[in-house]
Amino acid sequence: MPKTVDAADPRHASGRALWLLGPAMVAGVAYLDPGNVASNMTAGAAFGYLLVWVVVLGNVMAWLIQYLSAKLGIVTGESLPQILGRRLHRPWARRAYWVQAELVAMATDVAEVIGGAVALHLLFGIPLVWGGAITGLVSMGLLLVQTRRGTRAFETVLIGLLVVIAVGFSFGLFFAPPDPAGVVEGLVPRFEGTNSVLLAASILGATIMPHAIYAHSALARDRFAPPSPSGVEAAAAPAAPASAADARADLERARGISTPRLLRATRWDVTIALAVAGTVNLAILLLAAANLAGVDGTDSLEGAYAALRDGLGPLVATLFAVGLLASGLASTSVGAYAGAEIMHGLLRARIPLVVRRLVTLVPALVILALGVDPTLALVLSQVVLSFGIPFALVPLVALTARTDVLGRHRNRRATTVAGVLASVFLITLNVALLWLVFTGG
């Protein structure tokens, strides 16, 4: 039997601790996709500091949600789509659930490819359609890294892109810091009309992304899969072991590391990833609020780039565009990974990541070819994501609260209550959005 690593043993603490980090950083890339940039830039330019509280609240809820997703993957050795695919016994139910999840994944791809296309246009003057195609091709290369070099290499590349994103979007604040009083005032929850609710839903859809919930459980599963052939696949197989408790025990023995230690490391992983993502998202909104509020033409990424160039100089604007490009390339790779896992878990069919990348690239290229305003498409795609949140979040909270799924690692009562409150809040916001849009309120 493999020896379980003791978390308290100083001989193993440093090297092992670093090895345990990574999956949340990859999932965190999804929180910094071009949809986030468009939503936060538009919110800051249109309403100043009004929606700061939405970014902060969204990041707090995201921490809980991503931790629950990772915990599900670690304890069970299965992803959320796999577990749902096994529990939805009727084929029509699995297919219906897959359709909504697939629409969400496609909306994600639209945002990420369009963002990369806009960035290439701003940096090099490349037409949007060709920029979208280039973004798709480069993302295929990133997916090949995951396929051929493994999960760890994929994580390393994406974490490198995450650093580029953070620098690109935060650099301008050193030249034009926000108003502290305005930031504090923006922490008070409130709206100002239908458009502010629309942008709030867009920010939350970009922050708490359904495909990131699906992906993180799969990333944790793949990252901590046992090295032996009798690992995750055997533990998750219906015939053996005889019970979920036996499966969890077999999984822990095969890994050679205790589940409690993995969960402790995962909490750190999620905290670091969401601290980075939340800080950068807030920096984007504050940059727009401090420099673009009331400036004509800043309701688009191209206009925001021009305003930053004219107001803060070409270096800030160029770094912003580079960050946008890195955002599109990194996040579209995570989106394709999530989409493949959704299809595998719910339809029990595997499609190569590169093939999936080609299929989901088409809608984004069509939108670009039709001349739809890229920023509008980005913001609306985030609203679609917001409506997909309950379908991922409600099952996640329910499953992680069940003893027959997680055993002694099930949620505590307070955790389940927090998850339920987050679900109710997000669903209520979406209902309010529908009411305001269709009644003209």
pLDDT category of residue 389 using cuts at 50, 70 and 90 = confident
For the chain, list the domains and their CATH numbers.
18-439 (1.20.1740.10)
Quick: pLDDT tens for 227-261: 544 444 434 444 445 567 667 677 767 676 788 88
What confidence tens digit (pLDDT) does each residue in 420-436 have? 998 888 888 777 766 76
Instruction: Look at residue 33 in the predicted model and tell me its pLDDT.
Output: 82
Q: Is residue 10 scored above 60 in pLDDT?
A: no
The pLDDT > 90 percentage for the chain reads 31
pLDDT at 292: 85
Q: Is the pLDDT of residue 14 over 70?
A: no
Q: What is the pLDDT of residue 232?
A: 41
Share of the chain above pLDDT 70, in %: 86
Distances (CA, A) of 56 to 166, 330, 398: 17, 23, 25
- Please, which pLDDT band fits residue 304 given cuts at 50, 70 and 90? confident
- Would you state the pLDDT for residue 234? 39
Is the model's pLDDT at 70 over the cut of 60? yes
User: What pLDDT is stored for residue 38 in this prediction?
Assistant: 80
Mean of per-residue pLDDT scores for the chain: 82
Through-space distance between the first and last CA atoms of the chain, rounded to whole angstroms? 65
CA distance 216 to 83: 14
Rounded CA gap, 71 and 65, in Å?
Answer: 10
Better-predicted residue by pLDDT, 83 or 230: 83
pLDDT for 11 equals 39
Give the separation between CA 169 and CA 324, rounded to whole angstroms: 8
Q: Note the pTM of the prediction, 2 decimals.
A: 0.84
According to the 3-state scheme, what is the secondary structure of the chain?
A: CCCCECCCCHHHHHHHHHHHCCHHHHHHHHHHCHHHHHHHHHHHHHHCCCCHHHHHHHHHHHHHHHHHHHHHHHHHCCCHHHHHHHHCCCHHHHHHHHHHHHHHHHHHHHHHHHHHHHHHHHHHCCCHHHHHHHHHHHHHHHHHHHHHHCHHHHHHHHHHHHHHHHHHHHHHHHCCCCCHHHHHHHCCCCCCCHHHHHHHHHHHHHHCCHHHHHHHHHHHHHHCCCCCCCCHHHHHCCCCCCCHHHHHHHHHHHHCECHHHHHHHHHHHHHHHHHHHHHHHHHHHHHHHHHCCCCCCCCCHHHHHHHHHHHHCHHHHHHHHHHHHHHHHHHHHHHHHHHHHHHHHHHCCCCCHHHHHHHHHHHHHHHHHCCCCHHHHHHHHHHHHHHHHHHHHHHHHHHHCCHHHHHHHCCCHHHHHHHHHHHHHHHHHHHHHHHHHHHCC
Least confident of 42-51, 77-86, 424-433: 424-433
